[in-house]
Amino acid sequence: MRARIGIICLTLVLGLSGPAGAQVGQLRVMALFPGKAMVEVDGKQRMLRVGEVEKDGLRLISANARGAVIEIDGERGEYRVGSHVGTRFSAPVTREAKIWRDRQGAYRTVGTINGRMADMLIDTGATSVAMSETEARRLGIPYRLEGERTGVRTASGSARAYAVRLDQVRVGAIELRGVDAVVIEGDAPPQVLLGMSFLKRVVMENQGALLVLRSKF
């Protein structure tokens, strides 16, 4: 899969405290890469990598060409081009989506993928978001050009597929970036399966006839 690099320059003015209580006055995101972010902290540049915790409490949760999720002493925020934060860090407002169970007992909804509307079926048994070639073409996803050949197991048996990364998936008020997905050769499934590559990044609350999804940060 081709890695896309987005060069982003935005300034975050934060009240960060290090291990000894020292304040970090300014953090600037200089460039974003898949899984990495080049930042400047008080005039000194360094590379943050997903999963690594810095001495001053900084931790990169995720990063792609559109933005980065940065954790500061346990508080997470999503930062994109043009984002600005005041001198005190404040957690973003929780976003949610409500999905009602249909007569077949399934949770179906309408969302968007890369800005285009798509019918979706909540599928906790699917490892990732999955869709047919027909749906991928309709959504304008260049899976043959940018995807990686792989195989998947379906109800009908094994099938050939392409592993891709979706720029954006939105359900209700929840929007996630950089979501892993597979495009399965052929016409099935008839709708997008909203699998665990999306669902594991949200909080799910099953209220019987109602499924509530909430953003984690």
pTM of the predicted structure, to 2 decimals: 0.59
pLDDT tens digits for range 142-182: 999 999 999 998 877 889 999 999 999 999 989 999 999 99
| Secondary structure class of 196 (helix, strand, coil) | helix
Q: What angle do CA 112, 103, 209 make, to 5 degrees?
A: 75
pLDDT tens digits for range 115-136: 999 999 999 999 999 999 999 9
Q: What is the CATH superfamily name and number for domain 96-215?
A: Acid Proteases (2.40.70.10)
How many CB atoms are located within 10 Å of the residue 25 CB?
A: 12
Which amino acid type is present at position 122?
I
Contacting residues for 47 by C-beta, under 8 A, at least 6 apart: 36, 37, 38, 39
Residues 36 and 58: their CA atoms lie apart, in Å, by 13
- CATH 2.40.70.10 segments of the chain: 96-215
